Amino acid sequence: MFAAATDAGSSTSPSTPLRQLVSEVASSPASPAEVLELLADQSPSVAKLPCNAPPPLVFPTGGPLYQEKLPGAIPVHFFGRCLEGLDGVGESQERSGEILERLEVADRIERSQLIGWLSKAARPLSLSKWGCRVVQKALEVASSADRDALVAKLDGFVEDLYDSPHGNHVLSKIVEVMPSASIGCVIAKLVGKGTTVARHRFGCRVLERLIEYCDESQIGTLIDEIVAESAALSKHAYGNFVVQHLMEHLPSRRASILEGMVQDLPTLANHRHASHVVQKVMEHCDEEGKEAIISALLHAESPNTLVEVACSRYGSFVVEQLAGMSEAGNEVKKAIVDGRDRLSDSPFGFRVLEHFDLARLGEPPTSPSGASKL
């Protein structure tokens, strides 16, 4: 049997068409294993490939993605463009869109090659309008090893990233997709700058992601800095969002945040930004905390009495929220009833009266002209 296969192979030249070769081998008594061996010996395309060469890569359309001979080498062509340089990717919506699409559909080997190529310009891509989207997608789809390598390229640029309108999204994505134990380098760069980052237009977003995804044991030092300045941060256009996030996601810090705010609570309730924090505190604090808030508002002196707060644009929302709290009791309702004439003269105070359903407590409030406002 083996002799017959050998004779058939010796009579076939390398130039014999593959169809003819298959026909000749099919008529021989060789075993399947011997047939495969014979075909491999006679196939020029297979014979030329080294045993350690990576498989050829192709697009779904059948177009080839050319690569160098060494395993893991960077592709030379991609969608007809040379991948030797990354110039223009970050500023070109079309080119970045092509790479985004390819990252979605590529197999493991090609995706690893593309991410390795992108890593060469990780920083400039992350800081550019369209490149930051490519880096975010790469972080989403990368294998663990490729993701670690990509993040390592950005390790020294944490401040650059959170300071950038584009880079902050990349830094936030790192926090989201990396194991929390692996982002110590990011946290370390922010420690000592917690309140500064909280006041930053883009940095506050990064802190919010850290609060959402990290354990308190990892970011405790950073959180301590923010809690200590929670009252001041509450009045800041961006810092207030960080304090609200702490109230929502870290129950262990709620009492400390309230303690830092309670003395100034009536003033904060009138503030454009801080009023939102006061409402968040009222929503999430325990019964003891709610009683402390009610007491602070009831016993505040002018110009921040409960009625004066209720007549202000932002404070009115705080007092409205009191109407839905069982802890408010009759003392709060009595203060509203006593001040209803003043409240009825304010569009904001009038809305508070409606929330307290004052019509059930006596005559409806009237305007100075005598017309009912309810």
The CA dihedral of 142, 147, 150, 152, to the nearest 10 degrees, is 180
Q: What pLDDT digit, counting tens, does each position of 168-214 carry?
A: 999 999 999 999 888 999 999 999 999 999 999 999 999 999 999 99
The backbone torsions φ and ψ at residue 70, rounded to the nearest 5 degrees and listed phi first, read -75, 140
Phi-psi category of residue 79: left, alpha or beta, with phi > 0 → left and psi -120 to 50 → alpha: left
How confident is the model at residue 331, as a pLDDT?
Answer: 87
Supply the pLDDT for residue 324.
83
Select from 62, 95, 61 the least CA-distant residue to 81: 95
Residues in the chain: 374
| pLDDT score of 30 | 57
Q: Residue 329: what pLDDT?
A: 77
Nearest to 255 by CA among 274, 273, 230: 230
Report, as ranges of residue numbers, the positions in the chain whose pLDDT lies below 70: 1-88, 358-374
What residue has token string 């169809």? 19
Cβ–Cβ under 8 Å, residues 318 and 269: yes
C-alpha separations of 83 from 73, 76, 116, 313 in Å: 12, 5, 11, 57
Q: Where are the beta strands (DSSP E) in 35-189?
A: 57-58, 64-65, 77-78, 81-82
Strand, coil or helix: 207: helix
Task: Please report, for the chain, the start and end positions of each structural domain, with discontinuous segments joined by +.
Answer: 258-374
**How much is the pLDDT for 2?**
39
Q: Would you say 168 and 136 are in contact if contact means Cβ atoms under 8 Å apart?
A: no
Nearest 5°: CA angle at 294, between 293 and 300?
90
pLDDT computed for residue 31 by the predictor: 61
Spell out the residues 6+ positions from residue 176 whose beta carbon is closer than 8 angstroms to its own: 209, 213
- List the alpha helices (DSSP H) in 270-346: 274-284, 287-298, 306-310, 315-323, 329-338, 340-344
Q: How many helices (H) and strands (E) does the chain have?
A: 26, 4
pLDDT of residue 119: 92
Give the strand pairing for 57-58 and 64-65: antiparallel
Spacing of C-alpha 245 from chain mean position:
14
The predicted pLDDT at position 216 comes to 92
Listing DSSP states for 240-269 in one string gives HHHHHHHHHH-GGGHHHHHHHHGGGHHHHH
Q: How far apart are CA 229 and CA 96, in angstroms?
A: 42
